[in-house]
Structures are given as structure tokens and as C-alpha cells.
Amino acid sequence: MIDVYVRKAGPLHRLDPRVKIIGAVMLTVLCFFLSNLSYLLALLIFMQLLMLLTRVSSRIYLRTIWLAVRLAIIFVLIWPFFDQAGEPMLLDLWVYKVTLPGFLRSLAVAARILLIASGWFILIFTTSQSQLVRGMVKLGLRYDLGLSISIGLRYLPRFLGTMDQIKEAQMSRGFDMRKGGPITKAKNYIPILIPTIAIAMRTADELSQVLVCKGYGASKRRTYLRELQMRKTDGLALFSIASLGLLLILLDIIGLVQL
Amino acid sequence: MSVSDLTYVYEDGTLALEDISFEISKGERIGLIGENGSGKTTLCKHLNGILRPSKGRVLIEGRDIAEMSISEVVGKVGLLFQNPDNQLFCSTVTEEMSFGLRNLGLTEDEIATRSQRYARLLRIDGLAERPPLMLSLGLRRLVTIASVLAMEQDIVLLDEPTAWLDRFQSRTATDAIKGFASSGRTIVVVSHNMKLIADLTERAVVLSRGRKIADGSTREILADKELLRRAGLSPTPVSELASDLGIAGHERVITEDDLITALCRGRDGGVVRP
Amino acid sequence: MPLFSLRNVTFRYPSQEGYALRDISCEIDEGEFVALLGADGAGKSTFAKLLNGVIPHAVRGTLTGEVLFKGVPTTRLQITGLVREVGLALQDPDVQLFLDSIEEELAFGPENLAVPPAEIEKRIARALELMEITDIRAKSPKALSGGQKQRLVIASILTMGTETIVLDEALSMLDQSVKKELLDTLKRMSLREKITVVVASQDAEDIYRYCDKMILLDGGRLAAVGRPSEILRSSQVLTSLGIEPPQVLEAIERIRDEGPTDVSGRLSRYFLSQLSENRMRGGS
Amino acid sequence: MGDGRLMSPREIAVLGIMIALVATMTLILIPIPATKGYFNLGEAMIFFAAFIFGRRIAGLSGAIGAGFIDAIAAPQFLPATILIKFAEGYVAGTIADVLRERANEQVVRAFAVEMGGAIMIIGYFIYEAFVLPLGFDTSAGIGVAIIELPWNISQAFIGGLIAMLLVTGIEKSYPRIRDLKT
């Protein structure tokens, strides 16, 4: 579940990671500016169409976006307790009053949540971890931070594996961690966490020596075997994203479509 | 203990073990051999109930291991994992050795005497209060061996017991394991070191790519160089020497003793092609 | 001038009592294939790390005496300069492979040294060829076997332009046949490109046929240095230090004691003919 | 940092490993049967980093480690998580660093957990109540935020507790961790 990159070739996979990162960030910012339901919904539908291009299987997509859907539903359900302005009244249950404008407003927030989520998922589904870090470094993230992110992402699955092995070893020496209530269960994790962290710390020690051995920091400017290259399509994509964003903001300010 | 038609498929769909069947009688000393990735470790995890077969069964004394609780299985089968670090959980060697004994429900007195006995046996009795993770790799390994043997189960699975040990440590460990097995307990030694297998076991099961390709007396299997080659294993150094030199009866040379017998049996049976 | 010379080197780690190395003096020549042997805790790792300057540059501790690399004390050289010449491979390949693709792994070192891309490309091709793994370039690092991973680790050091490779217990967890193949590759590389190779190990099995020199450590002290033919005159030298001797040598000694003398004489000659210094065909 | 010099190899290694640990522990969900909810151990690792390695490593590993998990599981929180977890680790680390010599260690750590935890709890409250429904009547957002409040409070509380147990445990079973402190 950690490696959600979809290993297929698609048009979005070929896009320069920088374009996709800028796109995801812009979409997030845009979402907070827009409060017009029609725009948000239109954008949401557009994003779902883009999602088709990621070639992600619908089962995996639904599983990944489930948390966002849950939050969106909570917002829609809670909303009528508080925002009861406007007519007509659709439902009136004592303190729980659903009005049409209020309902549409809650839908707008729900759409906003789903939009932000789908924007980042498109990035994550179509960009490998190393491309992602490369892109961020090219966009101005410090190289050393980028390197530690790469290291972190590489070790995440390994530490999950270490924890499994420790669990198995404890089980084979008769320790049953599944017993007990939530507090006991949390406490049962401590004998697993301590060796995991201790091993991680020894790894950090060795890793720092490996970095020294590989000449990390030897030269102020390092070279790259493969440079990221913006192609025409990348430029075009970037231009379209930017213009679409601007257009929506402008429309929102002018208030052409009212809802 | 018996294993029948055991098949195991990983979550990602790779086939790890395929249709493996064999039986282990009480008191047997069995070697489980094969190259890295042949499925030895995965098979061990089935024998101790950590993994559940995708197909087939593992029975202990006639009972299906899948239906036994952790404490029931652990009462009968012990497992030494290959990597010493993922099986050290405590802050001192003494606690480490008591960990399993406590889960067996022994009294504090029994725990103390038994862990002291095994610490002496593995020559780690001077390290009682040291944190295990701070010890050298070889000593960490000895601590894990002591911790597993101290539980004194009827069947003990040992995954590469002498890896990372130097000569002294390795002698200590093999002596302890031999002593342990001589009291009627069953041991299964997993290794790609044929010298160790020849020393410790009488029967060998050969795995290759998740399948059982041979099962027989250790001597016969280690003498079958073609079989070893197919399994990606190297014969013992003296066995190679004997066949390099074309010593008469070289097919049967596995240990140093065999070499000496082969050479001394007849003067004309000596070196033919130096 | 020897490539390395250690003069009365003593080292101790801050969080450990006792000395890791005590009063070591010895030399390693250019192009030599060296076996660094010792029991668990004898100081092999510390010795290995002294050679490429990780000690004392990146590992804390107190060092007295000096390690000379091409005549210059390593304390006076920049660590970033030293690692270009002397590479160190550790036991666990997984710690040393931390990037997403094999190519990134191979390029990481030279990129840090600001080597131009075209030159990196050349070095990668050479390193893969020397390590005999030209076919793995497009694979995922996860799909590699244990032996291939170790080869990749060594290749990723070679791309930095190093002329010395130090392996700190890097072979001990490999299957025996895989280990022999890797030793073959290293020997061929060493002979062809005059690359100095130092292999630290707890047992002398296998390695004894490849090395030109054995350095024996015991509890942080230097126990013996010599050519294999000198050290292997008796397995006792090794066994008394807790180092596993070649099984064949032990067998020969028993035959000498128990069996016909002419046979043991011929066996000994055969054994000696297997040593690298006596093998003219070299490598294979 | 900030002066343009690269981090030392030791810092890079420690930061990379801490990022992995924060992310790993964020994935460990411990079920709370009564509420059908979960809490994770990510907080525990951020506080652990704060106690052992100080504010920089704690802030960065919190932001990046938890941020990565959000990016693949709940990106709707991503902007908040990056800021909040950074502040949480940075503040807890600063308190642990500054007060280390002046008071009882356990008290200092408890205080660091309280302050860091407060930032986390308040941060997510603000995000859910005011930022997500930006441009709308915010009282509805407050409602959602209140529902999530007990989760976040118990997460911070249990995380802090576990972190304190972990630090003592690790210093005992792996004393060499001291050599890694920068």
C-alpha cells in the first residue's frame, strides 16, 4: 500500500515531474480560492477524466480515495447542524435543518476536499518516487533534503519488514501480542518498537559512513547523469494548467455564473 | 511431524513453495539445504506455524498446526531465525534469555537456572548484564542460539546456526547443538554450508526453487555432486579435493575422516593424478 | 613505496572499553590481493575503515600512530579525496543501496564528485564490465540476488575511480558457490587493472586460494603477516586465533599424522599448487 | 541550515532514517474498539526525534514522514500536515533542547509533548474548522473539527507517553545512539 505508483505507460507518466508538482500545488491553492459549486464540480469531473489517463485500477483508486470521501461525507452530514441560512427548507428535524443553499454549500466543501485529494493522487499515481524527488530538487528544494527524502522512502518498506520479522520472532518465542485491550495492545508494541528503532539507529550510523565513502558533499556543485528535460508537451501542459487556473479565478471574481 | 502437499503463494502471487511433503520422526537430525531463495526459510516458518499454507497441511503429532494456538505450537517447536538482530528484543542478555522461558510459564527459579545453564553452554555467561544489541555479531548470534535452545522444545529449527560465527564460536555452537540433539530431541538445520550439514545431520532434504528435489541420507545426498550442482550448492572442500585428485572412492568422500579412510585403504588407492 | 603503511596504529571507540586496534604496523602494496583474517571482534572492521579514512574522519574515536596512503598520513588528507582512491564495501548490501534504480546507484558517487555526465557513463560501463554484471543495468535493485547486490555495491564504488577496494565481511553471507564466483571476478579485476583488493573475513576457506598476502589479527593486535604459503604451513596458526582454516589443510595435517607419508607429501604439494602465488594461470 | 552549507552525512542519514521511522509508525494503526477508530504511532516518533536529535530533525522528519503518508492516503490534509508536524517537532525539540539542563528530564519531556501536542491539536482544529470551508460559514467546520478533537488529543497523549518509554528503552538497549546525536 506504500508504493502506489502505477507502473504503466501513460501520457501523464511521461509528463515532466515538475509540471505535475506545480499542477498539484496550483490546484490545491485554487481550491481554497474557489467557492463556486459549479466551478468546483466542473473541475472535479475534469480531474476524474484525467484520472482515467493514470491507468489506475478502479479498485485501487476507490481504496486510496476512501479517506477523503469519508471526510467529505462527514462535512455534508454535519453541515445542517450549523449552516441553516436560506430557503427553501428541505428537511427540518429540530436542530438539524437542511436548506437547499446550505446543502449546496456543503457540497462545495465536499467537492473541494475530493479535488485536492484527486490532484495529489494523479501526481502520486503517475510519478515514481525518484522522479518526484528529482522534480522537487529541480524546483528549488535543497539537494541534501531531497537525498534524505529518497533515503526515507527507500527505508520505509524495509522497516515495515523489520517489524514483521521481529513480530514473528517474538511469536516463535511464545509472545502473543494480539491479546489484550487497546492500552495493552499499544504497550505490546513497545518491545517491537525498541528493537526496530535500535536497528534503525545502527543503520543510520552505517549509512552515514556509506555516504562519506560515496563522496557525499565532496563538491559544491554536483553533476547529474540524467537531467530532467522539459519537452514541448510539458510546456504546453504547464501553460494549459496555468491558464485554466487563471480563467477560473477570473470567472469567480467576475461572478459570471451564480450559484 | 509431517508435512503434506504444502504449497505457499506470497501475497504478490509468487510461488514460494510447491507441493512439499515429508515426515520428521522423533529424534531425527535433518538438514534442509538449498541455495538462497530456494524456500528454506519460508518452509521453516510453516513448520512453526508463523505462516499458514496456501494449500496442504502441517501436522504435529497428528494435529493440524493451523488449529493450534501460538502457545501450543511454541510448547513443541522452536525456531532460530537467520538474522540475529530481528530476534533480540530485550535490554540485557539475561532478560533476552528469559523472554521465551517466561512465555512458557516457568517459575522464576527455573528461568534463572535454565538461562544460566544455557549461557554457560554457549559461553556467554560473562555477558549477563550487557545489552544484546551492543555485542559483536558473533556474540549476538550466540545469545539468540542460547535463547532458543533454552526453551528445550521437542523440535528445534535452526536457520544457518553458524553463520557469522568464528571458529571458536562455531565450535561452541555446534557442540551445544549436538548435545541438545543427543537427548532425543529433533533438530532441523537449515544451511548452505555442506560441511556443517555433514557434521550435524543424518538425513537431508534438498530444496530448489520452492520444490523438494531430494530427500535421503545426508551422506548419499552430499556425495551426489550432480544433485548439489542442480541445487546451486557446493560440495565440501575435501570432497572437491578428492574428486580433483581422482582418489579411488572419491565419490564417497564427504568429511575429513572419509578422505583419510579413502587414502589409507590401499596404497594404490592413493593419489592418481596430482 | 607501499600503497598503505600502518605505523604503530592504535584506535579506540568512545563508547567501548578497551582498544579496537593496538600497535599495528604493516604494509600493503599496490595491486595486492590481501586477506584480512581474524576472529569475531579481532578488529578487522576497524582496520578496513582505517584504510579509506572513514576512521578517523567520520567515525569518532582516538587514533594514535599513523596510516600512510602513498606516503601521506590519512589524517592530513581530505576524506573526500581519499574515498576517490580507496573504496569500502560493508557487510550488508541493503544499507549501501538506497536509491531507486541501478543506474542512480552507480552514478551517485561520481555525481557527488562532480564528474561530467559523459565520463560517468564511461565509468559505469567499465565498472559493470569489471564486475561482470553488464546484463543487470535495466533491472530494479529489488530484483537482484545477494551476489548481484554485492557486485553492484562494488561497481558503485569503482565508478568513483577507486583503485583499491576494501571488503569488510562483504562476502560472508553469500552461498559458497556465489562467493567463489565473486572472488574469481575480483581476482580477474585485480590482475587486469592492477586494482588492490583487501577482503576481511572470519574464515580462510576459499579466500586462501586467491590472496597474495594474509594479515592476521587477534584481539586488536597484529598476530602475523605473510604470504599464504608461509602462514598456511600449519593450520594451527589460524585455529589458535579462532580463524577457520581451509578444510583441506586440516585434512592434510591429519593424514600427515595418521596416514602414509608419501600421500601426504603429494597432497601438500597439490594444496600449495592451489595458492594464488603458485598458480601461473591466475584468476580463473 | 539556511546558511547554504549542506547537511553533514550523519545528519542526512539520521534525517532519512527518522523520516522512514515516522512514516512507518504513522502506518501502524492501533484500533480503539469502543469507537471503531484508530490512532497511529507517528506522533511518538516525532517526539522521540525531538528528545534525541533536537528540533531540526524532529521538525523535518515529522513534516516529510507524515506528509508522505498523507500524500498517498489523505492528501486533503497534506498542506496542513506539512506545516503542523514541522511546527510540532520543532517546538517540542526546542523545549527539550533549551530546558534540558534546567529541570528534571521527564518533566521537560512531558512539557515538550504538551506544547508540541497542543500545536498539533490546535493546528488540525484550525484547518478543519476554518481552512477547509474557507469562504463559507465556518461554524459547520468547527462541528467537524470538534468530532475529530478527541482522536487528536488521544493521539498526542499516547504518542508522548510512548515516546518517553521508547527513549528510556533505547538508551538502555542501544547506548550507542548517543554517538549519533549531532
Q: What are the cell numbers at B90? A: 530485550
What sign does the CA torsion over D98, D99, D100, D101 have?
positive
How far is the C-alpha of D65 from the C-alpha of C94, rounded, in Å?
21
Radius of gyration, CA atoms only, chain D: 17
CB B127 within 8 A of CB B139: yes
**Span B215-236, average pLDDT:** 91
At B130, is the pLDDT very low, low, confident or very high (cuts 50, 70, 90)? very high
Q: Are residues A124 and A188 in the same domain?
A: no
> Are A94 and A206 part of one and the same domain?
no
Between the CA of residue C147 and those of B191, C133, C154, C253, what are the distances in Å?
17, 10, 11, 33
C-chain residues within 8 Å CB-CB of D179?
14-15, 60
Out of C98, C115, C121, the one facing A154 most closely (by C-beta) is: C98
User: Which chain A residue has the Cα nearest residue C108?
Assistant: A214
pLDDT band for B37, please (50, 70, 90 cuts): confident
Q: What is the pLDDT of residues D79-110, one digit of tens each?
A: 999 999 999 999 999 999 888 778 788 889 99
B chain contacts of residue C236, beta-carbon cutoff 8 Å: none
B222-226 mean pLDDT = 90
Chain B residue with the nearest C-alpha to that of C147 = B36
Residue D151's pLDDT is 84
How many residues can be counted in chain D? 182
Q: What are phi and psi of C22, to 5 degrees?
A: -135, 115
Alpha carbon of B100: minimum distance to chain A alpha carbons (Å): 5
Interface test with C, best of A210, A224, A229 (most C CBs within 10 A): A210
Handedness of CA C73, C75, C76, C77 (dihedral sign): positive
Measured CA to CA, the distance from residue D84 to residue D38 in angstroms comes to 20
pLDDT in tens, C119-129: 999 999 999 99
Nearest residue on chain C to B163, judged by CA atoms?
Answer: C173
> CB contact, 8 Å: A227 with chain B?
no
Domains and CATH numbers, chain C: 4-228 (3.40.50.300)
> What are the two backbone dihedrals, phi and then psi, of residue C35, each rounded to the nearest 5 degrees?
-100, 125
Q: Does any CB of chain B come closer than 8 Å to the CB of residue A28?
A: no
Mutual angle of helices C146-158 and C176-193, in 10-degree steps: 20
How large is the average pLDDT for residues B176-198? 93
Residue-wise over B235-255: b if at least 16 C-beta within 10 A, else e? bbbbbbbbeebebeebeebbb
Residue C194 cell numbers, joined: 592492477
Residues in chain C: 284
Per the listing, cell 578422505 goes with: B259
* Of A80-89, B25-34, C141-150, minimum mean pLDDT range: A80-89
Q: Among the residues of chain B, which ranges form H helices? A: 40-47, 70-76, 93-103, 108-121, 137-149, 167-182, 194-200, 218-223, 225-230, 237-245, 256-265
Q: What is the nearest CA distance from D74 to chain A, expressed in angstroms?
A: 6
Asked whether residue A184 is assigned to any structural domain, the reply reads: yes
Per-residue confidence band for C228, with pLDDT thresholds at 50, 70 and 90: very high
- The C-alpha atoms of residue B218 and residue B211 are separated, in whole angstroms, by 18
- CB pair distance less than 8 Å for B36 and C270: no
pLDDT at B274: 37
CA-to-CA distance for A140 and B77, rounded, in angstroms? 56
- Yes or no, beta carbons of A201 and D176 under 8 Å apart: yes
Has residue B243 got a pLDDT over 90? no
Are A47 and A128 within one domain? yes
A169 and A202 housed in the same domain = yes
CA trace torsion D51, D56, D57, D58 (10° rounding):
50
Q: Are residues A105 and A168 in the same domain?
A: no
pLDDT at D51 over 80: yes
pLDDT at position C283: 42
Q: Which residues of D touch C14 (CB under 8 A)?
A: 179
Residues in chain B: 274
Rounded Cα distance between A100 and D138, Å, is: 17
Choose among C15, C58, C98: nearest Cβ to D9. Answer: C58
Q: Under CATH, which number does the domain B2-221 receive?
A: 3.40.50.300
Domains of chain D: 9-180 (1.10.1760.20)
Q: Which residues of A touch C124 (CB under 8 A)?
A: 225
How many angstroms separate the CA atoms of D70 and D78, rounded?
Answer: 6
| Dist CA C143 CA C245 (whole Å) | 34
B268 pLDDT band, cuts 50/70/90, is: very low
Q: Is the pLDDT of residue D1 over 50?
A: no
Whole-number Å distance between alpha carbons of B76 and D4: 61
Residues of chain C contacting B270 with CB distance shorter than 8 Å: 260, 262-263, 266
Which of A144-153, B51-60, B248-257 ranks highest by mean pLDDT? A144-153
Q: Are residues A182 and A103 in the same domain?
A: no
Among residues A55, A52, A60, A58, which one has the least CA distance to residue A7? A55
Same domain, A38 and A109: yes
SS (H, E, C) chain A: CCCCCCCCCCHHHHCCHHHHHHHHHHHHHHHHHCCCHHHHHHHHHHHHHHHHHCCCCHHHHHHHHHHHHHHHHHHHHHHHHHCCCCCCEEEEECCEEEEHHHHHHHHHHHHHHHHHHHHHHHHHHHCCHHHHHHHHHHCCCCHHHHHHHHHHHHHHHHHHHHHHHHHHHHHHCCCCCCCCCHHHHHHHCHHHHHHHHHHHHHHHHHHHHHHHHCCCCCCCCCCCCCCCCCCHHHHHHHHHHHHHHHHHHHHHHHCCCCC
Q: Mark yes or no for CB contact B89/A165 under 8 Å.
A: no
* Statement to judge: residues A125 and A55 lie in one domain: yes
Q: Where are the domains of chain B?
A: 2-221, 236-274
List the grid coordinates of A233.
508537451
Q: What residue of D is the nearest CA neighbor of C57?
A: D9
**Whether residues A96 and A209 fall in one domain:** no
Chain C hits for D176, CB-CB cut-off 8 Å, are 15
- By the CB < 8 Å criterion, does A219 face chain C? yes
Asked if pLDDT for residue D182 goes beyond 80, the answer is no
Q: Which structural domain range is residue A65 located in?
A: 11-135+230-254
The predicted pLDDT at position A1 comes to: 59
The CA distance from C206 to the nearest CA of chain D, in Å, is 35
Contacting residues of A for D15, CB less than 8 Å apart: 145, 148, 151-152
pLDDT at D34: 55
Q: What is the pLDDT of residue D62?
A: 97
All residues of chain B having their beta carbon less than 8 Å from the beta carbon of residue D176 are: 134
CB-CB neighbors (< 8 A) of D10 in chain C: 58
Position C282 scores a pLDDT of: 44
Q: What is the pLDDT of residue C260?
A: 67
Q: Does C242 touch chain B (CB under 8 A)?
A: yes
Domain co-membership, A20 together with A123: yes
Q: Please indicate whether, in this complex, the C-beta atoms of D179 and C58 are within 8 angstroms of each other.
A: no
Peptide bond into C56 cis (omega under 30): yes
Instruction: Determine the pLDDT at residue D4.
Output: 58
pLDDT of residue B206: 95
* pLDDT tens-digit profile, chain A (259 residues): 577 888 888 888 889 999 999 999 999 999 888 888 888 999 999 999 999 988 888 898 998 898 899 889 988 998 888 888 888 888 888 888 889 988 998 999 999 999 999 999 999 999 988 889 999 999 999 999 999 999 999 999 999 999 999 999 999 998 877 766 666 777 778 888 999 999 999 999 999 999 999 999 888 788 898 888 888 899 999 999 889 888 888 887 776 555 4
Partner residue opposite C145 with nearest CB, options B36, B236, B244: B36
pLDDT digits (tens, 9 = 90+) for C183-226: 999 999 999 999 999 999 999 988 999 999 999 999 999 999 99
162-191 in A: which are within 8 Å (CB) of B? 162, 165-166, 168-176, 191
Which residue's entry shows cell 481554497?
Answer: A32
Q: Check: CB of residue D117 under 8 Å from CB of residue D62.
A: no
Q: What is the pLDDT of residues B156-183, one digit of tens each?
A: 999 999 988 999 999 999 999 999 999 8
Q: Is residue A69 part of a domain?
A: yes
Domain assignment present for residue A218? The answer is no
Count of alpha carbons within 13 angstroms of residue D123, beta-carbon side? 21
Q: Which 3 state secondary structure label does DSSP give C45?
A: helix
Share of chain D above pLDDT 90, in %: 54
Q: Cell 513480530 sits at which residue?
A: A167
Q: What is the pLDDT of residue A204?
A: 95
| pLDDT higher than 80, residue D37 | no
Percentage of chain C surpassing pLDDT 90? 70
CB contact under 8 A, A153 and D144: no
Of A168, A170, A174, the CB nearest to B104: A174
Query: Exposed, middle or buried, B170 (CB in 10 Å: 0-12/13-18/19+)?
Result: buried
CA atoms of A102 and C101, how far apart (whole Å): 51
The total number of structural domains that make up chain A: 2
pLDDT digits (tens, 9 = 90+) for D106-159: 889 999 999 999 999 999 999 988 888 887 766 778 888 888 888 889 888 888
Residue carrying the nine cell digits 576524506: C79
Sign of CA dihedral D98, D101, D106, D108: negative
Quote the mean pLDDT of chain D: 88
**pLDDT category of residue B151 using cuts at 50, 70 and 90:** very high
β-partners of residue D40 are D29
CB-based contact A26:A244 (threshold 8 Å): no
* Residue A79 belongs to some domain of the structure: yes
Q: Do D10 and C58 touch (CB under 8 A)?
A: yes
Tell me, what's the pLDDT at C279? 72
| C-alpha R_g of chain B | 20
Residues A64 and A118 placed together within one structural domain of the fold: yes
Q: Does A218 touch chain C (CB under 8 A)?
A: yes
Note whether A204 and A244 are same-domain residues. Answer: no
